[in-house]
Amino acid sequence: MGRVADLLSDQAAQRASATPIDLYAWMVLARELDGALCELNPKWFPCYGEEACIVGSFIDLGPNDVAAPHYRDPFIVYLMRGAEMWRLVAQVLGSGDGYSRGRSLPFYGPPQLGNLPWVAGDLGTSLGVATGAALALRERGDQGVCVCTFGDGTSNRGDLHEAVNIAALWKLPIVFLCQNNGWSISQPAASYLSAPVHHRASGYGIPGHAVDGQDVQEVRRAVREAIARARQGDGPSLIEARTCRYGGHWAGDDQAYRSGKDAAPDPLQVLADRLVQGGMAQHDVLAAMREEAIEAVLAAVNVARTATPVGPEQLGVDEVYA
């Protein structure tokens, strides 16, 4: 059994002591799964180039914590927290065997695994729900923490002010992380951000940090410190991870508004080089891991293609009409 198979056999146990090799494996899985979903659904929102932000943000959450990913992140986060890959793929295909039972193709997740039950398509509204989850975690009294990610475009919504303000005032156990990929759909960040997002933290009296979003270990360190702060009752932090959206806003986006590819190092290559140079892995081991991830995703797609079509039972007609 290879490293990817080990991760998928017991996601929660593997996350608890994730090594740099594990971080690479999760990012490889993220890229391969995301690529497959883009092929299956041209309306999928790809995370190509942002894998380090996703894995680094959520890798250290425990079973009592809550994950609140934004719309580019959910499936790899759900996978990391114990979801079955084939059921996630089935969801994109609109199958009744998906976690949403055909109701919401991309965004619904299994709440029993410690996720918000959905990721809002109207961006920003999940910020308030995540903050409410943090309040519930505090009242529960088991030191649970919520990690909530959002994009740079979403950072300009009033939802963020309301959520961060009340979280800071009440010292709620939540980490806010902005994945700043430099684009709000087709608008470059310079046209809607007058200052770095993390600078806003000082207005709420909380820590604000900027990190290299292409370096999964740097993202992980910053989030881990913020999680520790939240667990001990010191309230929220605001982290801005500078990353890069290699693809379009959605899989079928022709990016006519964009001239060339934004210059940013590939997060998988950044970690691969570090692993090889540090003597922690050889090129052939990493290549084998990539092949294993490709095979795992292909197997999930093949199973999902045979899944149950959506009918009245899956859509829950009996739950709506008497």
Which candidate, 225, 110, 214, 204, places its Cα nearest to that of 161? 204
Q: Which is higher by pLDDT, 19 or 102?
A: 19
C-alpha distance from residue 17 to each of 59, 61, 100, 197 (Å): 9, 11, 30, 31
Domains, in order of start, for the chain: 3-320 (3.40.50.970)
Q: How far apart are CA 159 and CA 154, in angstroms?
A: 9
Q: Residue 14 pLDDT more than 60?
A: no
Residue-wise pLDDT for 209-239, tens only, equals 999 999 999 999 999 999 999 999 999 999 9
Q: Residue 173 pLDDT more than 80?
A: yes
Residue-wise pLDDT for 286-305, tens only, equals 999 999 999 999 999 999 99
Strand order in the sheet with 66-68: 66-68, 146-151, 174-180, 237-242, 208-212
Mean pLDDT for 118-132 is 83
Task: Decide: helix, strand or coil at residue 140.
Answer: helix
Q: For residue 16, what pLDDT band results from cuts at 50, 70 and 90?
A: low
Q: Residue 310 pLDDT more than 60?
A: yes
Beta-carbon count within 10 A of 114 CB: 20
Q: Which is higher by pLDDT, 148 or 264?
A: 148
pLDDT reported for residue 279: 95
Place of tokens 């198979």: 5
pLDDT reported for residue 196: 96
Q: For residue 260, what pLDDT band results from cuts at 50, 70 and 90?
A: confident
Q: How far apart are CA 302 and CA 77, in angstroms?
A: 21
* pTM summary value: 0.93
Q: Residue 98 pLDDT more than 90?
A: no
- For the stretch 169-198, what's the b/e string if a residue is b when 16 or more beta carbons lie within 10 angstroms of its beta carbon? eeebbbbbbbbbbbbbeeeebeeebeebbb
Q: Residue 265 pLDDT more than 60?
A: yes
Q: For residue 165, what pLDDT band results from cuts at 50, 70 and 90?
A: very high
Q: Are strands 237-242 and 174-180 parallel, antiparallel or unpaired?
A: parallel
Locate 54 and state its tokens: 């996703």
Locate 42 and state its tokens: 């041209």
Which candidate, 140, 141, 117, places its Cα nearest to that of 129? 117
pLDDT reported for residue 89: 93
Q: For residue 71, what pLDDT band results from cuts at 50, 70 and 90?
A: confident
Mean pLDDT for 47-64 is 95
